[in-house]
Amino acid sequence: MTAEEVRGLSDAELSQKLGALRTQLFQLRVQAKLGRLERGLQLRSVRRDIARCLTVHRQRQIGGSARRQEVVG
C-alpha cells in the first residue's frame, strides 16, 4: 500500500483499514511467537502500512498547517 492509496481513502475507510491492519499485526505476532510465520517481512510491511495510515490521519487532523508554515516561514 502506497501513501497515495492511503490518501485516497475517506476518514471512515482509513479507520477501518487501520483497525484491520492492527488485527493483522497481532495475528502475525502470534504466528511469529509460535514459530509458524512463513514470511518475516510481513511484519515489517504491516507496521509500515500502519505508520502510513497514522501519518495521513495526523496530517488530516492538523489540516496541512505545518506544511504551510514551512513554505511561508
Q: Is the pLDDT of residue 63 over 90?
A: no
Between CA 25 and CA 58 the distance in angstroms is: 21
Calpha distance 53→7 (Å, rounded): 8
CATH for 3-72 is: 1.10.287.310
Q: What are phi and psi of 49, to 5 degrees?
A: -65, -40
Would you state the pLDDT for residue 1?
Answer: 85
The pLDDT tens digits for 3-47 are 999 999 999 999 999 999 999 999 999 999 999 988 989 999 999
Question: What does the pLDDT read at residue 40?
Answer: 85
- The CA-based dihedral angle spanning residues 60, 66, 51, 17, taken in that order and rounded to the nearest 10 degrees: 10
Domain residue limits, the chain: 3-72
CB 18 within 8 A of CB 57: yes
